[in-house]
Amino acid sequence: MRPRVLVVGSINMDLIVRCSELPRRGETVRGEEFRTAAGGKGANQAVACARLGAATTLVGRVGEDEFGRSLRDDLVAEGIDVASVRVDREAATGVALILLEQEGSNRIVVIGGANARMGAEEVKQARARLAACNVVLMQLETPLPVVREVALAARERGVLSVLDAGAATPAAAEMGLPGLVDVLSPNEPEAEALTGIVVRNLESAREAAQALREMGARDVVIKLGRGGAWWSGPEGEAHFPAFPIDPIDTTAAGDAFTGCLAVSLAEGRRRSEAILRANAAGALACLTLGAQPSMPRAEEVEGFQQERQPRL
């Protein structure tokens, strides 16, 4: 039976600029390439889940504009249920400006637009969909009260909740969000935002994970980029090394990771197997330019895992 995943999150159009160097304050530099690509952490993760074989439903908002129409069409083409994606006539579709450097690293500025207006209607839609899903997947690019209410509803109904801490701020910790979810997955700066602990190595990742568990998260999976992932949960803790690659674009690698983690858990896989598989999905996403275009399919992840071994 196909796993069923409910994603509640942001939908953006990404405006990608590739440049050899980033401008300093007051400086103008020449870019080398510009393109648009479908993005937004919620939509990215929904695409990741769908491509990995999950029956996927997305709850979110877009504006009544060309970006919004294009993004909805793309999601439908991926087989995602968008009946709960609301069209907002008073706000533009969210956008993200991505400055992409030669070595594949990026800096991102997000303008929430319609995403920032998500509220009671989206919570209502999510509640109505929870009974039909195995896992609910959320992020922090949408209003925190929405995330909180959906997490509470998932807990009431006994549905496994996964929170990608993308766009985390201390406010998420102050609201108690780590304690409302089953699996919490930040990257290094997001873990720092939630705990105040600077994550620079495995030891500091371990400290941050322990702090997040003390806040109430059952399982914590910290994404470490080239360093792989660190897991801490009731059954123990472990480091999962990254797969060695030469990245082209790291945009949305974390979304591929968390989407794959959610689907793998929905399939009933063990934590260790789910995280290894998520590492492979994140690595594959770095080999293609753009967010949603880089989300891998299940057969690609399986083939990649068979061909390569994690860095020891």
Which are the catalytic amino acids?
A: 255
Contacts of 92 (CB under 8 A, 6+ apart): 63, 65, 67, 113, 114
Contacts of 23 (CB under 8 A, 6+ apart): 29
